[in-house]
A and B are shown apart, each in its own frame.
Chain A
Amino acid sequence: MSDSAVLVEMRGLTKRFGPGRPALDRLDARILGGTITGLAGPDGAGKTTLLRMIAGLLDPTEGELRVLGVDPREDAEEIHARAGYMPQRFGLYEDLSVQQNLDLYADLRGVLGEERRETFGRLLGFTDWARFTDRRAGALSGGMKQKLGLACALISKPELLLLDEPGVGVDPISRRDLWRMVEDLVKDGVGVVWSTAYLDEAEQCETVIVLNEGRPVFCGPPGELTGRVRGRAWAVPVEHGRRRALSKALQSEEVLDGVVQGHRLRLVLRGKARDRWDASEAGLEGKAEAAEPRFEDAFIDALGGPPRGPSRIAEAMRQVPPDDHPVIEAQDLTKRFGDFAATDGVSFTVPRGEIFGLLGPNGAGKSTTFKMLCGLLRPTSGRALVTGLDLEHSGSEARSRLGYMAQKFSLYGDLSVRQNLEFFAGIYGLPRARQKPAVDGMLDVFALRDQADEASGGLPLGFKQRLSMAAALMHEPDVLFLDEPTSGVDPLTRREFWKHINGLVEKGVTVLVTTHFMDEAEYCDRIGLVYRGKLIALGPPDELKAKARTDKNESPTMEDAFIHLVQAWDREQGGDRKEGKP
Chain B
Amino acid sequence: MKAPSPAPSRAGAFSPRRLGALIRKESIQIVRDPSSILIALILPVVLLFLFGYAVSLDSTRLRLGVVLEERTVDSESLLAALRDSKYFLVTPGASRREAEADLTAGRTRGLVVVPVNFSRYLLSGGTEGAPLQVIADGSEPNTANFVQNYVRAAVGGWQQARLLERGILVPPARVDLQPRMWFNPSLESKNFLVPGSIAIVMTLIGTLLTALVVAREWERGTMEALMATPVSIQELVLGKLVPYFTLGMGSMLFCTLVATLVFGVPLRGSVVALALVTAVFLVSALGLGLLLSTLAKSQFMAGQVALVIGFLPAFQLSGFIFEISAMPRWIQAITFLFPARWFVQSLQTLFLAGDVPAVLWRDGAILVGFAVLFVFLTSRVTRKKL
Contact = CB atoms under 8 A, between A and B. Distances in A.
Given A77-B10, A103-B21, A107-B18, A58 B384 contact: no
B77 interface: no
B17 interface: yes
Contacts of B384: 56-57, 76-77, 80
A419 to B, nearest CB: 25
Interface string B38-53: 0000000000000000
B11 A80 contact: yes
A6 B1 contact: yes
B32 A87 contact: no
B225 A152 contact: yes
B221 A87 contact: yes
Nearest to B17: A107
A110 B28 contact: no
Interface in B1-51: 1-2, 4-5, 7-12, 15, 17-18, 20-22, 24-25, 28-29, 32-33
A520 B12 CA distance: 49
B229 A109 contact: yes
Nearest to B228: A85
B231 interface: yes
A91 B222 CA distance: 4
Contacts of A86: 225
Contacts of A52: 386
A110 B25 contact: no
Nearest to B25: A104
B235 to A, nearest CB: 9
Contacts, number: 114
A5 B3 CA distance: 12
Contacts of A89: 220-221, 224
Nearest to A189: B2
A83 B227 CA distance: 12
B187 interface: no
A87 B224 contact: yes
A149 B221 CA distance: 11
Nearest to B224: A87
A236 B382 CA distance: 60
Interface in B207-248: 220-222, 224-231
A57 B227 contact: yes
Interface stretch (A93-101, A200-208, A329-337, A500-508): A93-101
Contacts of B380: none
Nearest to B33: A95
Contacts of A96: 25, 28-29
Contacts of B9: 81, 109-110
A68 B4 contact: yes
A81 B221 contact: no
Given A108-B229, A110-B8, A5 B2 contact: yes
Contacts of A57: 224, 227-228, 384-386
B4 A78 contact: yes
A361 to B, nearest CB: 22
Contacts of B28: 95-96, 100
Interface string A44-59: 0000000010011111
Contact of B228 (A55, A88, A100): A55
Contacts of B222: 90-93
Contacts of A92: 222, 225
Highest count of chain B CB atoms <10 Å: which of A56, A110, A159: A110
Contacts of A78: 4
Interface in B306-339: none
Contacts of B386: 52, 57-58
B228 A83 contact: yes
A82 B224 contact: no
Highest count of chain A CB atoms <10 Å: which of B12, B25, B226: B25
Contact of B231 (A6, A85, A87, A108): A108
A84 B224 CA distance: 12
A12 interface: no
A94 B220 contact: yes
A103 B11 CA distance: 18
A307 interface: no
B48 to A, nearest CB: 29
Given A91-B222, A95-B32, A110-B9, A100 B25 contact: yes
B21 A159 contact: no
A104 B225 CA distance: 12
Contact of B230 (A68, A81, A88, A104): A81
11 contacts: A1-B2, A5-B1, A57-B384, A87-B228, A89-B220, A89-B224, A95-B29, A96-B25, A100-B28, A107-B17, A152-B225
Interface of B: 1-2, 4-5, 7-12, 15, 17-18, 20-22, 24-25, 28-29, 32-33, 220-222, 224-231, 384-386
Given A55-B228, A92-B225, A110-B9, 5 more contacts: A6-B1, A76-B384, A82-B7, A83-B228, A104-B22
